[in-house]
Amino acid sequence: MDAPQTVFPDIISSRLEDLWSAPLPGEEAPRYFASLRESGALLVKLVPGEDQEQAKDLLTEMESLSERLRQLYVRFAYIQGLLDGDKLREVLGSKA
């Protein structure tokens, strides 16, 4: 079996599938963050008065965790791109 003919299509189809099912950058993420903030504000209003400050602190922590998760996914995507590029170089190099 020739490596480029077997590996290359898998790399491309896998990345295309990831891109096809992912939301477009800049479209959905801001709406999600806005929705998260609105939901959090409503949730704080539902909490009895003496516990609202603790609820606000918890909400701030949740928003921070959401941001850290977003940054983690960006790093994963970057690393995956590097791995794919390295694998593509390897596959194309073995063809020569």
What pLDDT is attached to residue 1? 46
Longest distance between any two alpha carbons in the chain, whole Å: 71
Q: Tokens for 67?
A: 């941001």
Task: Give me 66's structure tokens.
Answer: 């959401």
CB atoms within 10 A of CB 60: 11
Structural domain tally of the chain? 1
User: Could you identify the residue written with the tokens 């609202």?
Assistant: 52
Three-state SS string across 33-53, please? HHHHHHHHHHHHHHCCHHHHH
Look up the domain containing 16 and give its range. 3-95
Handedness of CA 18, 23, 26, 31 (dihedral sign): negative
> How high is the pLDDT of residue 61?
92
> Please, are residues 95 and 4 in contact by the beta-carbon 8 Å criterion?
yes
Q: What is the structure's pLDDT at 7?
A: 58
Predicted pLDDT of residue 31: 80
Per-residue model confidence as pLDDT tens for the chain (96 residues): 455 556 567 777 777 777 777 766 667 777 887 888 899 889 889 999 889 999 999 989 988 888 888 888 888 888 888 888 888 888 787 765
Asked whether the whole model's pTM tops 0.75, one would answer no
